[in-house]
Structure 1
Amino acid sequence: MRSKISLVVAATFTCAGLVAGCASGDTGAEPTPSAAAAPPTTPAGEPTPDPRTLAQTCGADLLANLSQRQKLAQLLNVGVTGTADALAVVRDEQIGGIFVGSWTDESMLANREVPQVASASELPLMVTIDEEGGRVSRVSNLLGPDPSARVTAATMTVEQTYQMALERGRGLADLGITVNYAPVVDVSSQPDNSVIGDRSFSDDPATVTLYADAYARGMRDAGILPVIKHFPGHGSGSGDSHTGAVTTPPLEQLQTSDLQPFRDLVDTGVGVMLGHLEVPGLTAPNVPTSVSPDAVALLRGGVGYGGPPFTGPIFTDDLSGMQAITDRYDITDAVAAALGAGVDVALWLTTDDVPRVLDHLETLVASGELPAQRVDEAVLTVARAKGAVPC
């Protein structure tokens, strides 16, 4: 299985590079009639794949070389305690990603051990972190401190924010990180030490959008996928989802404030994280947005008021350590509900439950309760985000 999957991935990267090379190799000279008629070839003399054909087949090839359990595993992003823990879960279950948090042994990053973990994966491994700056920082001992979002917006220009994120992103990439669960785009005037507080750039949606865009661009230009959060907006929520249920103002009110940064940024090459929020006028009673089909539909459909549709990866917030979820769901049910709702990546904090989560998901797919097509769509969305397929 390793050789088959590796060949598929290698082929997709090669094809993507060849297509890009054809686009960028124009010298401006007029071709001779014979040259114009000849199909483009690779250096080995083989025809260059037609990008239209590639777009139709590359995803199907990848899916055909994955078992159902491997597909489901690609949709899990799980916190690890260190290199040994990460190696074991990647090697044994081929999960799609690992999450580096405050509980992770810093030596995994400091000693540059992430590539060792990634090498155990059949497909590119998503290595994630929540490096926001300020009080939510996992690498300050390695890369130095960065200011909180609120301090950033109060003391730095937009260009300085971009440069700060670019430098931080390059540092993260050097440590092996590929995805950062930042920036926060919640609109909030909460006190600095509250759940969102100084993690928010501002209580003004336009300011949040401006600075979050600069931060996200810096991350992207450093090779890191930024993930904006917490959709559809935690800044006006009633409490802390770590400690219990949170209700936001009605959807119509969010449309003119909290949702504006998401609406403006979803088509800029970002991922989106769903919060555990109950939204009157959007979610069903007692159903947090992280497991809500209605919340996913709102995001995919353009965030209301004519925004662009979102086609990138959708992540949950932590499903194992936040009482807004754990008071209602076992981890197996939370993951299943999130994926069934249309989420692409289920995130939680320990590797212990990975086998039983996958067992449960396999049972649901076999019974039809979790549609196999939904799983395939999510696998391809995740694979595109990783660069494992070029279409």
Structure 2
Amino acid sequence: MKKQKIFALILPVIALGGLLTLNALKADPPSKSKPAVAGLTVPTGFDINVIADKLGSARHLVITPQNDIYVHMASTRVSKGIVVLHEEGGKTTIKTSFANYGGTGIAMGGGYLYASDKSGVFRYKLDANNQVTNPENPDRIVTGLVSVDWHQPKAITLDNDGNVYVNIGAPSNICDELDKNRTGCPLLDSAAGIWQFRTDKLNQSYKEGVHYAWGLRNVVGITWNQQLNQLFVMQHGRDNLHQMHPKLFTEKQSAELPAECMFAIKKGDNAGWPYVYYDWQKQKNMLGPEYGGDGVKPADAKYINPVVGFPGHLAPDGLLFYTGNQFPERYKNGAFIAFHGSWNRAPEPQAGYFVVFQPFKNGKPDGKWEVFADGFAGTEELKAQGRAEHRPTGLAQGPDGSLYITDDNKGTIYKVTYKK
């Protein structure tokens, strides 16, 4: 697909009503008409522009019908945990910020805004204009989840029946260090899976939740597919196949395996971690080497297969099924995935730092995935070294069908539009 170069212009970020200043955000004010990243590429017919910059560690986001943008920050070092912006008439302004915790997950539905911290989920009441009415006193609806440093953030999504789904990542690469007898993984009772909770109950813990899906090492991209009425997730695969098993895997194999996987999840599904990894080249679930595998033995058929497998270590952090009418028809109900980029593909160059599109037809992947937006890393040298200037993280669809992308390295928000 032919690409065109886009030079992104920073639109001014201005405080509204003295509620929040850029100084309060501890960020330098952006310059007008200064390219944030030269050489961004999108398909012909699309535009990509920067609508906000230097916000902090911007992770997932949601956008209201009134064009308010709620952005969850990974930390509170630069700002409060949730920053609220408003976009109108070609300008983006900061309205306010709240929340004394960082995190990733954020969702909106049923008159509430939901956001996660390291151990649970909060709920904020919204008024008729989708503005939070209780920023200092949210309801805690989920609490007491595993919050070990590794894979601590809790990605969330909502279904249409009053449930919130929470990823609880495994604080581990392959669980072998916690199970010397290799007979089972003790993490699986409280992590490495998806839990379902009610949105209308307070202070739920594991006891009140439903262990919805098993065997998922860590999920950051998570969404509810409205066409299928089903949960979809993007799993971060394991690391260090060669380092841990040099007789079984070459360095090149370890750089490309295992796959980063998209799963279509139903209640009770088991994706197989830590016993299984997916080989995207063979298109097979393989038995893990810590549990008797040798790079050839297939996994037990009781574990579900991904619907799409991507090259290893690209770190899929955002997942969105496009339901708007602005983009051409081929994008309708297809999936956008934001890849944060790799750190561990040596001796191969580091890779990712892009947004891809996976076409769907009749609720299933249809054809090969394609790079949709690229150039976030900056130069090819920076990309190969893993020193990307910008790292795509969150995805959201605007009320007019535009696509929004966050970057958690420099706090940039991009907007992709189609020129009809």
* Both proteins in one fold, TM over 0.5: no
**Structure with greater proportional helix content:** 1
Q: TM-score, normalised by structure 1?
A: 0.31
**Structure with greater proportional strand content:** 2
Q: TM-score, normalised by structure 2?
A: 0.29
